[in-house]
Structure 1
Amino acid sequence: MKLHENNALGELGSAIGKGLLAGLAATAAMTLSQTIEMKFTKREPSDATVTVAEDVTGAKPATDEDKQKLSQEIHWSYGTAWGVARGIIGLTGLKGWPATLVHFGAVWGTALVMLPKHDAAKPITEQEPKAIAIDALHHAVYAVTAGLVYDALDAGSRRERKLHKMARNLNKLVQRYRYVA
Protein backbone atom coordinates (compact mmCIF):
# COMPACT_ATOMS: atom_id res chain seq x y z
CA MET A 1 0.00 0.00 0.00
CA LYS A 2 1.43 3.34 -1.05
CA LEU A 3 0.84 6.35 1.18
CA HIS A 4 0.19 9.65 -0.50
CA GLU A 5 2.65 12.35 0.40
CA ASN A 6 -0.02 15.04 0.38
CA ASN A 7 -2.66 13.70 2.77
CA ALA A 8 -4.92 16.59 3.78
CA LEU A 9 -7.18 14.47 6.01
CA GLY A 10 -4.14 13.00 7.75
CA GLU A 11 -2.77 16.50 8.37
CA LEU A 12 -6.16 17.62 9.70
CA GLY A 13 -6.36 14.62 12.03
CA SER A 14 -2.84 15.24 13.23
CA ALA A 15 -3.56 18.93 13.86
CA ILE A 16 -6.73 18.08 15.77
CA GLY A 17 -4.93 15.49 17.91
CA LYS A 18 -2.02 17.82 18.68
CA GLY A 19 -4.52 20.59 19.38
CA LEU A 20 -6.45 18.44 21.85
CA LEU A 21 -3.25 17.62 23.71
CA ALA A 22 -2.26 21.30 23.69
CA GLY A 23 -5.75 22.26 24.92
CA LEU A 24 -5.56 19.73 27.76
CA ALA A 25 -2.15 21.02 28.88
CA ALA A 26 -3.36 24.62 28.56
CA THR A 27 -6.46 23.89 30.65
CA ALA A 28 -4.25 22.38 33.34
CA ALA A 29 -2.03 25.50 33.29
CA MET A 30 -5.04 27.81 33.42
CA THR A 31 -6.54 25.81 36.29
CA LEU A 32 -3.27 26.11 38.22
CA SER A 33 -3.13 29.84 37.44
CA GLN A 34 -6.68 30.32 38.69
CA THR A 35 -6.06 28.26 41.83
CA ILE A 36 -3.00 30.32 42.74
CA GLU A 37 -4.77 33.61 41.97
CA MET A 38 -7.84 32.64 44.06
CA LYS A 39 -5.59 31.87 47.06
CA PHE A 40 -4.05 35.36 46.82
CA THR A 41 -7.21 37.31 46.05
CA LYS A 42 -9.56 35.19 48.19
CA ARG A 43 -11.88 35.01 45.18
CA GLU A 44 -14.47 32.23 45.09
CA PRO A 45 -14.57 29.88 42.09
CA SER A 46 -16.67 31.13 39.20
CA ASP A 47 -19.98 29.46 38.42
CA ALA A 48 -20.06 30.93 34.89
CA THR A 49 -19.70 27.54 33.20
CA VAL A 50 -22.72 26.13 35.02
CA THR A 51 -24.71 29.32 34.42
CA VAL A 52 -24.12 28.98 30.66
CA ALA A 53 -24.95 25.26 30.75
CA GLU A 54 -28.18 25.95 32.64
CA ASP A 55 -29.15 28.67 30.17
CA VAL A 56 -28.38 26.53 27.12
CA THR A 57 -29.88 23.25 28.32
CA GLY A 58 -32.49 24.38 30.83
CA ALA A 59 -31.22 21.70 33.25
CA LYS A 60 -29.91 22.54 36.72
CA PRO A 61 -27.63 20.46 38.93
CA ALA A 62 -29.55 18.98 41.89
CA THR A 63 -26.94 19.74 44.57
CA ASP A 64 -23.99 22.07 45.16
CA GLU A 65 -21.71 19.05 44.81
CA ASP A 66 -23.24 18.28 41.41
CA LYS A 67 -22.83 21.94 40.45
CA GLN A 68 -19.11 21.90 41.31
CA LYS A 69 -18.59 18.59 39.49
CA LEU A 70 -20.41 19.85 36.38
CA SER A 71 -18.42 23.08 36.47
CA GLN A 72 -15.14 21.16 36.45
CA GLU A 73 -16.29 18.79 33.70
CA ILE A 74 -17.31 21.70 31.47
CA HIS A 75 -14.14 23.66 32.26
CA TRP A 76 -11.88 20.75 31.27
CA SER A 77 -13.94 19.74 28.22
CA TYR A 78 -14.28 23.30 26.94
CA GLY A 79 -10.62 24.11 27.46
CA THR A 80 -9.45 20.90 25.85
CA ALA A 81 -11.78 21.42 22.88
CA TRP A 82 -10.41 24.93 22.30
CA GLY A 83 -7.10 23.24 21.56
CA VAL A 84 -8.62 22.11 18.27
CA ALA A 85 -8.75 25.78 17.23
CA ARG A 86 -5.01 25.98 17.89
CA GLY A 87 -4.55 22.96 15.64
CA ILE A 88 -6.57 24.58 12.86
CA ILE A 89 -4.53 27.77 13.24
CA GLY A 90 -1.41 25.61 12.89
CA LEU A 91 -2.70 24.17 9.62
CA THR A 92 -2.60 27.65 8.11
CA GLY A 93 1.17 27.70 8.63
CA LEU A 94 0.90 30.29 11.39
CA LYS A 95 2.93 29.36 14.47
CA GLY A 96 4.77 30.82 17.40
CA TRP A 97 3.65 34.13 18.88
CA PRO A 98 1.42 35.15 15.93
CA ALA A 99 -0.56 31.89 16.24
CA THR A 100 -0.71 32.29 20.02
CA LEU A 101 -2.11 35.82 19.67
CA VAL A 102 -4.78 34.67 17.22
CA HIS A 103 -5.71 31.79 19.54
CA PHE A 104 -5.80 34.11 22.57
CA GLY A 105 -8.07 36.51 20.69
CA ALA A 106 -10.42 33.72 19.68
CA VAL A 107 -10.63 32.14 23.14
CA TRP A 108 -10.90 35.31 25.22
CA GLY A 109 -13.03 37.10 22.64
CA THR A 110 -15.52 34.25 22.68
CA ALA A 111 -15.68 34.38 26.48
CA LEU A 112 -16.20 38.15 26.42
CA VAL A 113 -19.19 37.71 24.10
CA MET A 114 -20.66 34.40 25.29
CA LEU A 115 -20.64 34.91 29.07
CA PRO A 116 -22.60 38.19 29.09
CA LYS A 117 -25.00 36.76 26.49
CA HIS A 118 -25.91 34.00 28.96
CA ASP A 119 -25.89 36.30 32.01
CA ALA A 120 -22.82 34.50 33.36
CA ALA A 121 -20.70 37.66 33.56
CA LYS A 122 -21.03 41.40 33.14
CA PRO A 123 -20.04 42.91 29.78
CA ILE A 124 -16.40 43.98 29.78
CA THR A 125 -17.48 47.63 29.78
CA GLU A 126 -19.09 47.09 33.20
CA GLN A 127 -16.26 45.11 34.81
CA GLU A 128 -13.61 46.42 37.17
CA PRO A 129 -10.14 46.79 35.62
CA LYS A 130 -8.71 44.31 38.15
CA ALA A 131 -11.24 41.65 37.12
CA ILE A 132 -10.49 42.25 33.42
CA ALA A 133 -6.76 41.96 34.05
CA ILE A 134 -7.15 38.72 36.00
CA ASP A 135 -9.38 37.23 33.30
CA ALA A 136 -6.96 38.29 30.55
CA LEU A 137 -4.05 36.82 32.52
CA HIS A 138 -5.71 33.42 32.86
CA HIS A 139 -6.64 33.35 29.18
CA ALA A 140 -3.08 34.39 28.28
CA VAL A 141 -1.71 31.53 30.40
CA TYR A 142 -4.04 29.22 28.48
CA ALA A 143 -3.07 30.53 25.02
CA VAL A 144 0.68 30.64 25.69
CA THR A 145 0.68 27.10 27.09
CA ALA A 146 -1.41 25.80 24.19
CA GLY A 147 0.93 27.50 21.73
CA LEU A 148 4.09 26.15 23.32
CA VAL A 149 2.73 22.62 23.55
CA TYR A 150 1.26 22.66 20.04
CA ASP A 151 4.45 24.02 18.48
CA ALA A 152 6.54 21.45 20.38
CA LEU A 153 4.28 18.62 19.17
CA ASP A 154 4.29 19.99 15.62
CA ALA A 155 8.08 20.50 15.43
CA GLY A 156 9.54 18.58 12.52
CA SER A 157 6.21 18.01 10.78
CA ARG A 158 6.15 17.78 7.00
CA ARG A 159 4.49 21.20 6.84
CA GLU A 160 7.25 22.73 8.98
CA ARG A 161 9.98 21.10 6.88
CA LYS A 162 8.30 22.47 3.75
CA LEU A 163 8.21 25.99 5.25
CA HIS A 164 11.90 25.74 6.21
CA LYS A 165 12.77 24.58 2.69
CA MET A 166 10.86 27.52 1.19
CA ALA A 167 12.67 29.91 3.55
CA ARG A 168 16.07 28.46 2.61
CA ASN A 169 15.26 28.76 -1.11
CA LEU A 170 14.09 32.34 -0.64
CA ASN A 171 17.26 33.12 1.29
CA LYS A 172 19.40 31.62 -1.51
CA LEU A 173 17.51 33.70 -4.05
CA VAL A 174 18.03 36.88 -2.03
CA GLN A 175 21.73 36.09 -1.60
CA ARG A 176 22.13 35.47 -5.35
CA TYR A 177 20.51 38.78 -6.30
CA ARG A 178 22.31 40.67 -3.57
CA TYR A 179 25.63 40.00 -5.29
CA VAL A 180 24.24 40.74 -8.76
CA ALA A 181 22.87 44.15 -7.80
Structure 2
Amino acid sequence: MRDDERLQEHGDDSDNRTDNVHPDAVALNLLCGLAAGAIGTAAMTAGQHAEMRVTGRPSSVSPAEALCRLIGIETRTDRQEARLARQAHWAYGTAWGGGRALMENAGGGRPAEPWQTLLFTGLTWSAGVLLLRSTGNAPPLRQWTGRSLMIDFGHHLVFATVTGTAFRLLRRVLR
Protein backbone atom coordinates (compact mmCIF):
# COMPACT_ATOMS: atom_id res chain seq x y z
CA MET A 1 0.00 0.00 0.00
CA ARG A 2 1.36 3.44 -0.88
CA ASP A 3 1.86 5.99 1.91
CA ASP A 4 -0.87 8.28 0.58
CA GLU A 5 -3.34 5.36 0.52
CA ARG A 6 -2.33 4.40 4.04
CA LEU A 7 -2.87 7.97 5.25
CA GLN A 8 -6.34 8.00 3.73
CA GLU A 9 -7.20 4.70 5.39
CA HIS A 10 -5.63 5.23 8.82
CA GLY A 11 -5.17 8.98 9.15
CA ASP A 12 -1.90 10.82 9.71
CA ASP A 13 0.20 8.51 11.81
CA SER A 14 3.49 10.32 11.40
CA ASP A 15 4.14 9.89 15.14
CA ASN A 16 3.93 6.11 14.65
CA ARG A 17 6.17 5.66 11.57
CA THR A 18 9.13 3.39 12.04
CA ASP A 19 10.91 3.69 8.68
CA ASN A 20 14.66 3.98 9.30
CA VAL A 21 14.25 4.20 13.07
CA HIS A 22 17.37 5.27 14.95
CA PRO A 23 18.39 2.97 17.85
CA ASP A 24 17.98 5.88 20.29
CA ALA A 25 14.35 6.21 19.20
CA VAL A 26 13.80 2.49 19.85
CA ALA A 27 15.39 2.86 23.30
CA LEU A 28 13.19 5.88 24.04
CA ASN A 29 10.12 3.92 22.93
CA LEU A 30 11.12 1.06 25.22
CA LEU A 31 11.61 3.39 28.20
CA CYS A 32 8.28 5.06 27.49
CA GLY A 33 6.71 1.62 27.26
CA LEU A 34 8.12 0.49 30.59
CA ALA A 35 6.95 3.71 32.27
CA ALA A 36 3.54 3.33 30.61
CA GLY A 37 3.38 -0.28 31.83
CA ALA A 38 3.94 0.93 35.39
CA ILE A 39 1.22 3.57 34.95
CA GLY A 40 -1.14 0.95 33.48
CA THR A 41 -0.35 -1.40 36.37
CA ALA A 42 -1.20 1.38 38.83
CA ALA A 43 -4.56 1.90 37.11
CA MET A 44 -5.26 -1.84 37.04
CA THR A 45 -4.31 -2.16 40.71
CA ALA A 46 -6.60 0.71 41.68
CA GLY A 47 -9.43 -0.93 39.73
CA GLN A 48 -8.77 -4.29 41.35
CA HIS A 49 -8.81 -2.76 44.84
CA ALA A 50 -12.09 -0.99 44.08
CA GLU A 51 -13.57 -4.22 42.69
CA MET A 52 -12.41 -6.20 45.75
CA ARG A 53 -14.09 -3.68 48.08
CA VAL A 54 -17.35 -4.11 46.15
CA THR A 55 -17.24 -7.88 45.65
CA GLY A 56 -15.50 -8.86 48.87
CA ARG A 57 -12.92 -10.85 46.91
CA PRO A 58 -9.57 -11.19 48.73
CA SER A 59 -6.24 -10.25 47.16
CA SER A 60 -4.82 -12.94 44.94
CA VAL A 61 -1.55 -14.66 45.74
CA SER A 62 -1.58 -16.53 42.41
CA PRO A 63 1.18 -14.33 40.95
CA ALA A 64 3.44 -15.23 43.88
CA GLU A 65 2.59 -18.91 43.67
CA ALA A 66 3.26 -18.95 39.92
CA LEU A 67 6.58 -17.15 40.36
CA CYS A 68 7.62 -19.53 43.13
CA ARG A 69 6.93 -22.50 40.90
CA LEU A 70 8.72 -20.95 37.93
CA ILE A 71 11.93 -20.12 39.77
CA GLY A 72 11.83 -22.83 42.43
CA ILE A 73 11.51 -20.83 45.64
CA GLU A 74 9.14 -20.96 48.59
CA THR A 75 7.70 -18.23 50.75
CA ARG A 76 7.70 -18.89 54.47
CA THR A 77 4.95 -16.55 55.63
CA ASP A 78 1.72 -15.12 54.30
CA ARG A 79 3.33 -11.68 54.49
CA GLN A 80 6.20 -12.79 52.24
CA GLU A 81 3.73 -14.35 49.81
CA ALA A 82 1.63 -11.15 49.67
CA ARG A 83 4.75 -9.03 49.12
CA LEU A 84 5.99 -11.35 46.37
CA ALA A 85 2.54 -11.28 44.74
CA ARG A 86 2.66 -7.46 44.61
CA GLN A 87 6.20 -7.48 43.23
CA ALA A 88 5.32 -10.06 40.57
CA HIS A 89 2.19 -8.10 39.61
CA TRP A 90 4.15 -4.85 39.19
CA ALA A 91 7.07 -6.46 37.37
CA TYR A 92 4.74 -8.32 35.01
CA GLY A 93 2.69 -5.21 34.19
CA THR A 94 5.75 -3.00 33.75
CA ALA A 95 7.37 -5.58 31.46
CA TRP A 96 4.21 -5.74 29.35
CA GLY A 97 4.62 -1.98 28.84
CA GLY A 98 7.83 -2.88 27.02
CA GLY A 99 5.76 -5.24 24.90
CA ARG A 100 3.41 -2.39 24.08
CA ALA A 101 6.40 -0.36 22.90
CA LEU A 102 7.48 -3.23 20.68
CA MET A 103 4.03 -3.18 19.10
CA GLU A 104 4.71 0.43 18.10
CA ASN A 105 8.06 -0.54 16.59
CA ALA A 106 6.45 -3.33 14.56
CA GLY A 107 6.13 -1.20 11.44
CA GLY A 108 3.35 -0.24 9.08
CA GLY A 109 1.33 -3.44 9.42
CA ARG A 110 -0.02 -2.75 12.89
CA PRO A 111 -3.68 -1.90 13.40
CA ALA A 112 -5.01 1.53 14.30
CA GLU A 113 -6.80 2.30 17.56
CA PRO A 114 -9.01 0.93 19.07
CA TRP A 115 -7.77 -2.34 17.56
CA GLN A 116 -4.29 -1.93 19.08
CA THR A 117 -5.79 -1.70 22.55
CA LEU A 118 -8.06 -4.69 21.97
CA LEU A 119 -5.14 -6.72 20.61
CA PHE A 120 -2.95 -5.71 23.56
CA THR A 121 -5.78 -6.58 25.98
CA GLY A 122 -6.11 -10.01 24.44
CA LEU A 123 -2.36 -10.58 24.53
CA THR A 124 -1.90 -9.56 28.15
CA TRP A 125 -5.02 -11.35 29.39
CA SER A 126 -4.35 -14.61 27.54
CA ALA A 127 -0.66 -14.61 28.51
CA GLY A 128 -1.61 -14.16 32.16
CA VAL A 129 -4.18 -16.96 32.02
CA LEU A 130 -1.71 -19.27 30.25
CA LEU A 131 1.01 -18.50 32.80
CA LEU A 132 -1.28 -19.19 35.73
CA ARG A 133 -2.68 -22.33 34.07
CA SER A 134 0.78 -23.66 33.19
CA THR A 135 1.91 -23.34 36.80
CA GLY A 136 -1.27 -24.87 38.20
CA ASN A 137 -2.45 -21.60 39.75
CA ALA A 138 -5.74 -21.24 37.88
CA PRO A 139 -8.46 -23.66 36.85
CA PRO A 140 -9.27 -24.20 33.16
CA LEU A 141 -11.31 -21.33 31.68
CA ARG A 142 -14.33 -23.60 31.29
CA GLN A 143 -14.46 -23.72 35.11
CA TRP A 144 -14.43 -19.93 35.51
CA THR A 145 -17.75 -18.21 36.08
CA GLY A 146 -18.88 -15.66 33.53
CA ARG A 147 -18.56 -13.01 36.21
CA SER A 148 -14.95 -13.97 36.98
CA LEU A 149 -14.05 -13.92 33.29
CA MET A 150 -15.60 -10.49 32.80
CA ILE A 151 -13.93 -9.04 35.89
CA ASP A 152 -10.50 -10.40 34.96
CA PHE A 153 -10.79 -9.36 31.31
CA GLY A 154 -12.08 -5.95 32.41
CA HIS A 155 -9.03 -5.39 34.60
CA HIS A 156 -6.80 -6.24 31.64
CA LEU A 157 -8.78 -3.90 29.38
CA VAL A 158 -8.16 -1.08 31.87
CA PHE A 159 -4.46 -1.99 31.94
CA ALA A 160 -4.18 -2.06 28.15
CA THR A 161 -6.12 1.18 27.64
CA VAL A 162 -4.17 3.15 30.25
CA THR A 163 -0.82 1.66 29.17
CA GLY A 164 -1.44 2.53 25.51
CA THR A 165 -2.63 6.04 26.30
CA ALA A 166 0.28 6.69 28.68
CA PHE A 167 2.73 5.35 26.10
CA ARG A 168 1.47 7.67 23.36
CA LEU A 169 1.47 10.69 25.71
CA LEU A 170 4.95 9.97 27.09
CA ARG A 171 6.35 9.50 23.62
CA ARG A 172 4.89 12.81 22.43
CA VAL A 173 6.20 14.67 25.46
CA LEU A 174 9.68 13.18 25.29
CA ARG A 175 10.27 13.56 21.54
Q: TM-score, normalised by structure 2?
A: 0.81
Residue 52 (structure 2) pairs with residue 35 (structure 1):
no
Q: Give the aligned partner of residue 174 of structure 1.
A: none
Mapped to 1, the partners of 2:56 and 2:135 lie a distance apart of 25
Q: 2: CA distance between counterparts of 1:144 and 1:80?
A: 14
Quick check: 93-102 or 26-35, which moved more? 93-102
2:63 to 46, 49, 69: 49
**Number of aligned residue pairs:** 154
State the distance in 1 between where 2:77 and 2:91 align.
Answer: 21
Secondary structure at the aligned position of 2:57 is classed as coil
Query: How far apart are residue 157 of structure 1 and its match?
Result: 8.1
Which of residues 8, 16, 22 in structure 1 aligns to 2:36? 22
What amino acid sits opposite 1:80 in the alignment? T
Q: Output aligned runs, 1:1-181, within 5 Å.
A: 6-93=20-107, 94=110, 96-155=113-172
Unmatched 5+ stretches in structure 2: 1-19
Which amino acid is 1:62 matched to? R
3-state DSSP of counterpart to 1:27: helix
Number of the residue aligned with 2:5: none
The AA in structure 1 aligned to 2:79 is: E
Task: Pick the structure with greater CA Rg.
Answer: 1
CA distance in 1 between partners of 2:59 and 2:40 (Å): 18
Q: Measure the CA separation in 2 of the matches of 1:7 and 1:151.
A: 17
Aligned equivalent of 1:179: none
Q: Structure 1, unaligned stretches of length 5 or more?
A: 1-5, 159-181
Percent identity (aligned): 30
SS at match of 1:84: helix
**What is the one-letter code of the residue matched to 1:43?**
R
Q: What CA distance in whole angstroms lies between the structure 2 residues aligned with 1:113 and 1:9?
A: 32
Partner of 1:162: none
Instruction: Answer with 117-126 or 149-158: which moved more.
Output: 149-158
RMSD between aligned residues: 1.9
Partner SS, residue 96 of structure 1: coil
Distance 1:117 1:81 in 2: 19
**Which SS does the other structure have where 1:78 is aligned?**
helix
Cα distance in 2 for residues equivalent to 1:117 and 1:91: 29
Counterpart-to-counterpart distance in 2, 1:92 and 1:154: 16
Give the superposition deviation at 1:152.
1.3
